[in-house]
Structure 1
């Protein structure tokens, strides 16, 4: 074998198997064995995260989630980021391959009355042999960058679905509170009319009449605020689905009950979040990418080698370009050895090491945040269920008290103060009960988000939002 062939074989072998810098290892964290769970969860069972929002039993919510997956702008941005990461990966892979460029020239000249032509053609090629795996580490980092982009999409879907469900539940809650306020105000207007009749018959005072009418007006005064909050929630829901704020107004106009989840729900074990939570997986991919970049920076401190070559030909006629007498060529390796750079290359490695440490700390923080989210959601859901039960009992009792108080007042056996107190207590307890039902559904949504429940269907991220036309050579528009 010739010396040149031996060199090529050696450098190719080295470039194919040698890398520098640390290899990526899965980060380890200490996790508790079980959740500090309340009665709202079944810790021993794995979480049921696929299509979790369907357990709320509301077909309109299911439709809105599907529409948001297709139209949400944050999701669209995340899909574009995936296309960017994939293109960057392919671009980085290209550094492992040889590059070649062709050239050609034609000149026609006149000298001393003689006209002559000259034609030239050439091919230049080069290949960096990547002796110590710097380019391979760059490809590795780019591959983890693709993983990170995909986890960002999953995170965007998780957040978006949770926001759609939360806003939908809140909107239904406002509808229920508005209906309650209107029913209560109508009942209080009836009480005011009865009080006025009793006043005219001498069975009540003018103060009783004024108080009854004032209480009805006070209840009615709260309705516009509830209407405004409802409208804002529907506007947010519309935007989450990628539409104009008023797009869902008519569709949401007909009131529906506040969705009620089936409880308790399985929460699995804390270790499940390492694979289920997209923010944790994103942090892990970023840590892996940062680790690979250390090797990329470390490789710059070692010698680098490349093979370059060129072929050139020229002739007075096009037919002469391929003739051996007009062909010249050159081929050979180039070796570059860093000797002195003022410590820049070593500092560059230390920069990447510090960045790797930061990404590892970010991973640890993501895990702790995930644990905290789940624990908080479990406690909130468990305690809200207890509160809701007490509020339901209070509302029933106040309802009975209100019925008795009104009956006795109409019969003249009770004072107006008893009716006033009963109506206020019933309205307050009933309104708080609706808010509690909204809170239970919201806490259920928060728990599923905390456990990593998102979209489990297929997402096509390959299609660009804007399809360019006339990208080839064309006359520019003036």
Structure 2
């Protein structure tokens, strides 16, 4: 008996000593990643791109009150965000449940039954009687190998990953609203130019038809003019459809049926623009800021902690418990004599010597952690690729826009000259309309380029991933 008591005390003492040590399994260290030396972005355009860090709530750079209101509404009621938020709240509840489960556990039980005490054949039966059974028990698991600590690390990291997923959804929704708003206004701007081109071509066709009737122009000239008019008119319906689609998208993003979009936007012809160079920061700031990178890093932290949980399976589980109870017949004293029951001592569970299962689980967790590390590296590289690509396209489209603007300005100058010559009778009205049609085409190309630049800016903001990094857990 003494030897058994000594062995029990030795196990408890060993468990206490182990629990005071570091938890088994690897201690998590945030990875440096494949872009540890990332610095400035490759795309350089001082007049259009600034190295200033991207500010929170980047859409306010447009200084557009209506756009600010729409983004705020979307962030409040968007259905996709509500789903992600519910998942986040569930993850937080799971983490709280895990913390509560690893504390001191108390249980109370009570019951009433009808029975008959055994007389073992010695005396007469005393008949049936009511029996009361009640008890109170407490238990506490000693964290022998740090299993509890690692488990809590895992659930906390998983909850933080869900937080980053929610922030990523917010970035996506905000970018979606700005994109839909921009697309609607860009389609309106292009529609304005397209309709002007159609009106000019109709005038040109009327002059050509009159000239053909007078024998000045051939039937071929009339057919060519009709063909050009049909081509210009064909541009209008797709633009109207694009504007309508953008408005439907905007309505749904802000929690409304597709047709319940702001009526004023159906007439918008001016795209939101920036009054200063676009702030993009640097690659290192991007890595700290992107929610998907933070999510991948937290998932890696959770996977690393799980290795410790599985490693703890090689060690015994020790639970300290105590209970106090009573079982008595109704009408007797509940806590007297043999009616009182109590117990105190550890409960030890150990799978030794069969460690093959535990080691297989450790190998499984280690492989999962390696996959999470690869996922983190891939997420960082993909984020850098998206940012570099978006910035490079923006710079190239700016160059295209400048050349199209030069072409538009040259066409405008030619149209002014033609107008003066036509007023003096030097050129015909048909020649003047042809010059104006060329100007309208140049205006259309420039409007399309302006729309591309507006979309590029939203793509850059989405790639930079800013907005909520100030409250996020930084990569260590």
2:187 is matched with which residue: 174, 186, 197?
Answer: 174
Distance (Å, rounded) in 2 between the aligned partners of 1:324 and 1:64: 76
After superposition, where does 1:63-462 map in structure 2 within 5 Å? 63-108=69-114, 116-248=129-261, 250-317=263-330, 320-323=333-336, 325-341=338-354, 343-402=356-415, 411=425, 413=427, 422=435, 425-455=438-468
For 1:15-54, list aligned pairs within 5 A.
Answer: 15-29=19-33, 30-39=36-45, 45-54=51-60
Distance 1:307 1:80 in 2: 37
How high is the TM-score relative to the length of structure 2? 0.87
With 447-456 and 366-375 compared, the bigger mean Cα shift is at 447-456
Query: Contact between 1:314 and 1:320, CA under 8 Å: does it hold in 2?
Result: no
Q: Distance in 2 between matches of 1:319 and 1:287?
A: 61
- Is the CA contact (8 Å cut-off) linking 1:18 and 1:131 kept in structure 2? no
The 1-side partners of 2:366 and 2:116 are apart by 64
My pick for the range that moved more, 231-240 or 116-125, is 116-125
Question: Does the residue aligned with 2:265 lie in a helix, a strand or coil?
Answer: coil
Q: Determine helix, strand or coil for the equivalent of 1:307.
A: strand
**Preserved contact between residue 49 and residue 448 of structure 1 (Cα < 8 Å):** no
Q: Distance in 2 between matches of 1:28 and 1:42?
A: 31
Indicate conservation of the 8 Å contact 2:24/2:146, yes or no. Answer: yes
Please tell me whether the aligned partners of residues 119 and 317 of structure 1 are also in contact (alpha carbons under 8 angstroms). Answer: yes
Mark the runs of 5 or more structure 2 residues left unpaired by the alignment. Answer: 118-124
CA distance in 2, matches of 1:370, 1:386: 25
**Cα distance in 2 between the residues matched to 1:187 and 1:324:** 111
CA shift, 1:409, in A, is 7.7
Distance 1:100 1:140 in 2: 24
Distance 1:153 1:12, change over 3 A: same
What does the per-residue CA deviation read over 1:318-351, in whole Å, with 9 as the maximum and x for residues that have no partner? 7733445411122221222322437221111011
The equivalent residue for 1:468 is: none
Question: SS in structure 1 opposite 2:31?
Answer: coil
Secondary structure at the counterpart of residue 221 of structure 2:
helix
- Say which SS state the counterpart of residue 28 (structure 1) adopts: coil
Question: TM-score when scaled to structure 1?
Answer: 0.86
Write the distance in 1 (CA, Å) between the matches of 2:147 and 2:22.
10
SS of residue paired to 1:300 = helix
Q: Aligned equivalents of 1:183 and 1:458: distance in 2? A: 50
